[in-house]
Structure 1
Amino acid sequence: MPFRIGLSGLQAAAADLQVTGNNIANTATVGFKQSRAEFADVYAQAYGGISKTAIGSGVRLGATTQQFSQGNIEYTENSLDLAINGQGFFVLNDDGGRSYTRAGQFQVDRDGFVVNSNGQHLQVYPPNETGVTDTTFNTGTLDDLKLEFGDNAPAATESVDAAMNLVSDAMPPVDSKGAPITVIDVDDPNTFNYSTSVTVYDSLGTPRTMTLYYLKLGTGTGTVADPVKSTPGEWKVYAELDGLIPGKTPDASQTKNIFFDSNGNLDTTKTTGLPWKPKFDLATNYLPNNGATIGYVDTTKTPPVPTNEVSIDIADLTQYGTKYSVSDLSQDGFTTGRLTGFDVDQTGVVFARYSNGQSGILGKVALANFKNPQGLQQLGDNNWAETFAAGDPTFGDPGTSNLGLIQSGGLEAANVDLAEELVSLITAQRNYQANAQTISTADQITQTIINIR
Structure 2
Amino acid sequence: MLKSLFAGVSGLQSHQVAMDVESNNIANVNTVGYKYSRANFSDLLAQTRAIATAPQGELGGKNPVQVGLGATVSSMTRIFSQGSVQNSDKNTDVAIQGDGFFIISPDGGNTYKYTRAGDFKFDAGGNFVDNNGFIVQGWLRDRATGFVDATAPITNINIPPGLTTPASPTQHVVIKANLNSGPLVKTYSPAYEVKSYPTGTPLPNPEAIDENGNPIDSGNMGVLFNDSGEAFNLQTGQGIWASFTPTKTAATAGVAAGAVELDITLELDDGTLKQITTNGGLAGNTAADNAARYVSAINAQTSVTGIIATYSGGFINLANSNSDINASHNIRINAVGNANSGLVVGDSATTAYRYQYDPTGAVTVAGGDKKFTTIADLREALENQARAVGNLDADATPDENNIEIKINAQGKFELSNPGGSQDGDYDINLSITGMNANSITGGGITENTKFTRNMEALNATLPAGSTGKAFSQSFNAATHSASIDIFDSLGSKHTLRTEFRKVAVDASTGSSWNMKISVPEPATIDSVAPYNEKTGFVRFNSDGSLATFNPPNVSFTANNGSAANQQVAIKLGTSNSFDGMTSFDSKSATSGISQDGFTGGDLVGIRIDQSGTLIGSFSNGRSFGLAQIGMAKFTNNEGLSTEGGNVYVQTANSGDPIIGTAATAGRGFMQAAALEASNVDLSLALTQLIIIQRGYQANGKTITTSDQLLQTLIGLKQ
If the length of structure 2 is used for normalisation, what is the TM-score? 0.50
Corresponding residue for residue 224 of structure 1: none
- Aligned to 2:10, the other structure's residue is in SS state helix
Query: Are the structure 2 counterparts of residues 154 and 15 from structure 1 closer, same or farther at C-alpha, using a change threshold of 3 Å?
Result: same
Task: Note the C-alpha offset of 1:26.
Answer: 0.6
- Aligned to 1:157, the other structure's residue is in SS state coil
Superposed CA offset, 1:323-381 (max 9, x none): 44333333222222332333444333443333445344344433333333323222111
Task: Note the C-alpha offset of 1:236.
Answer: 5.3
Task: Note the C-alpha offset of 1:82.
Answer: 2.3
Superposed CA offset, 1:42-82 (max 9, x none): 23547x86583332222222222212222222232334322
Does the 8 A contact of 2:47 with 2:67 survive in 1? no
Query: Are the structure 2 counterparts of residues 409 and 202 from structure 1 closer, same or farther at C-alpha, using a change threshold of 3 Å?
Result: same
Query: Are the structure 2 counterparts of residues 424 and 190 from structure 1 closer, same or farther at C-alpha, using a change threshold of 3 Å?
Result: farther
Does the 8 A contact of 2:536 with 2:551 survive in 1? no
Equivalent-residue separation in structure 1 for 2:32 and 2:171 (angstroms) = 48
Does the 8 A contact of 1:276 with 1:314 survive in 2? no
Residue in structure 1 matching 2:19, options 5, 17, 20: 17
Query: Are the structure 2 counterparts of residues 210 and 184 from structure 1 closer, same or farther at C-alpha, using a change threshold of 3 Å?
Result: farther
Equivalent-residue separation in structure 2 for 1:120 and 1:262 (angstroms) = 61
Task: Note the C-alpha offset of 1:262.
Answer: 8.7
Equivalent-residue separation in structure 2 for 1:410 and 1:233 (angstroms) = 55
The residue type paired with residue 82 of structure 2 is Q
Does the 8 A contact of 1:274 with 1:313 survive in 2? no
Residue in structure 1 matching 2:484, options 182, 191, 198: 198
Query: Are the structure 2 counterparts of residues 435 and 320 from structure 1 closer, same or farther at C-alpha, using a change threshold of 3 Å?
Result: closer
Does 2:710 match 1:426? no
- Aligned to 1:97, the other structure's residue is in SS state coil
Query: Are the structure 2 counterparts of residues 33 and 259 from structure 1 closer, same or farther at C-alpha, using a change threshold of 3 Å?
Result: closer
Residue in structure 2 matching 1:416, options 660, 680, 684: 680
Equivalent-residue separation in structure 1 for 2:536 and 2:68 (angstroms) = 102
Does 2:115 match 1:101? yes
Superposed CA offset, 1:395-415 (max 9, x none): 333334343333333322222
Corresponding residue for residue 92 of structure 1: 104
Does 2:636 match 1:378? no
Correspondence 1:177-326 to 2 at 5 A:
182-183=210-211, 195-213=481-499, 237-242=515-520, 244=522, 251-252=530-531, 254-256=533-535, 258=537, 263=542, 268=548, 273-275=550-552, 277=554, 281-283=557-559, 289=560, 291-293=561-563, 306-308=564-566, 310-313=568-571, 321=585, 323-326=587-590
Does the 8 A contact of 2:636 with 2:655 survive in 1? yes
Identify the range of structure 1 (172-181 vs 419-428) with the bigger mean alpha-carbon deviation.
Answer: 172-181
Query: Are the structure 2 counterparts of residues 67 and 213 from structure 1 closer, same or farther at C-alpha, using a change threshold of 3 Å?
Result: closer
Superposed CA offset, 1:102-155 (max 9, x none): 22221111111111111111122455x34755553344x231111244122222
Number of residue pairs matched by the alignment: 410
Corresponding residue for residue 72 of structure 1: 84
The residue type paired with residue 635 of structure 2 is K
Larger Rg: 2
Q: Which has the higher contact order (CA 8 A, sep 6+)?
A: 1
Corresponding residue for residue 302 of structure 1: none
Does 2:149 match 1:154? no
If the length of structure 1 is used for normalisation, what is the TM-score? 0.76
Corresponding residue for residue 439 of structure 1: 703
Does the 8 A contact of 1:133 with 1:359 survive in 2? no
Corresponding residue for residue 299 of structure 1: none
Does 2:654 match 1:390? yes
Corresponding residue for residue 221 of structure 1: none
Task: Note the C-alpha offset of 1:318.
Answer: 5.8
- Aligned to 1:439, the other structure's residue is in SS state helix
Does the 8 A contact of 1:114 with 1:145 survive in 2? yes
Corresponding residue for residue 260 of structure 2: none
Equivalent-residue separation in structure 2 for 1:308 and 1:214 (angstroms) = 23
Query: Are the structure 2 counterparts of residues 357 and 131 from structure 1 closer, same or farther at C-alpha, using a change threshold of 3 Å?
Result: farther
Superposed CA offset, 1:5-46 (max 9, x none): 222222222222111111111111112111111112223547
Equivalent-residue separation in structure 2 for 1:181 and 1:190 (angstroms) = 15
Does 2:622 match 1:348? no
Equivalent-residue separation in structure 2 for 1:82 and 1:394 (angstroms) = 20
Task: Note the C-alpha offset of 1:307.
Answer: 0.5
Query: Are the structure 2 counterparts of residues 121 and 450 from structure 1 closer, same or farther at C-alpha, using a change threshold of 3 Å?
Result: same
Query: Are the structure 2 counterparts of residues 64 and 214 from structure 1 closer, same or farther at C-alpha, using a change threshold of 3 Å?
Result: closer
Cα RMSD, aligned residues only: 3.8
Equivalent-residue separation in structure 1 for 2:547 and 2:711 (angstroms) = 115
Corresponding residue for residue 42 of structure 1: 44
Does the 8 A contact of 2:172 with 2:595 survive in 1? yes
Unaligned segments of structure 1, at least 5 residues: 219-231, 284-288, 294-305
Does the 8 A contact of 2:553 with 2:567 survive in 1? no
Does the 8 A contact of 1:148 with 1:352 survive in 2? no
Query: Are the structure 2 counterparts of residues 126 and 138 from structure 1 closer, same or farther at C-alpha, using a change threshold of 3 Å?
Result: farther
Equivalent-residue separation in structure 2 for 1:238 and 1:342 (angstroms) = 41
Equivalent-residue separation in structure 1 for 2:102 and 2:619 (angstroms) = 30
Does the 8 A contact of 1:132 with 1:361 survive in 2? no
Equivalent-residue separation in structure 1 for 2:619 and 2:151 (angstroms) = 28
Does the 8 A contact of 2:194 with 2:211 survive in 1? no
Equivalent-residue separation in structure 1 for 2:72 and 2:113 (angstroms) = 31
Query: Are the structure 2 counterparts of residues 244 and 194 from structure 1 closer, same or farther at C-alpha, using a change threshold of 3 Å?
Result: farther
Identical pairs, percent:
32
Identify the range of structure 1 (407-416 vs 28-37) with the bigger mean alpha-carbon deviation.
Answer: 407-416
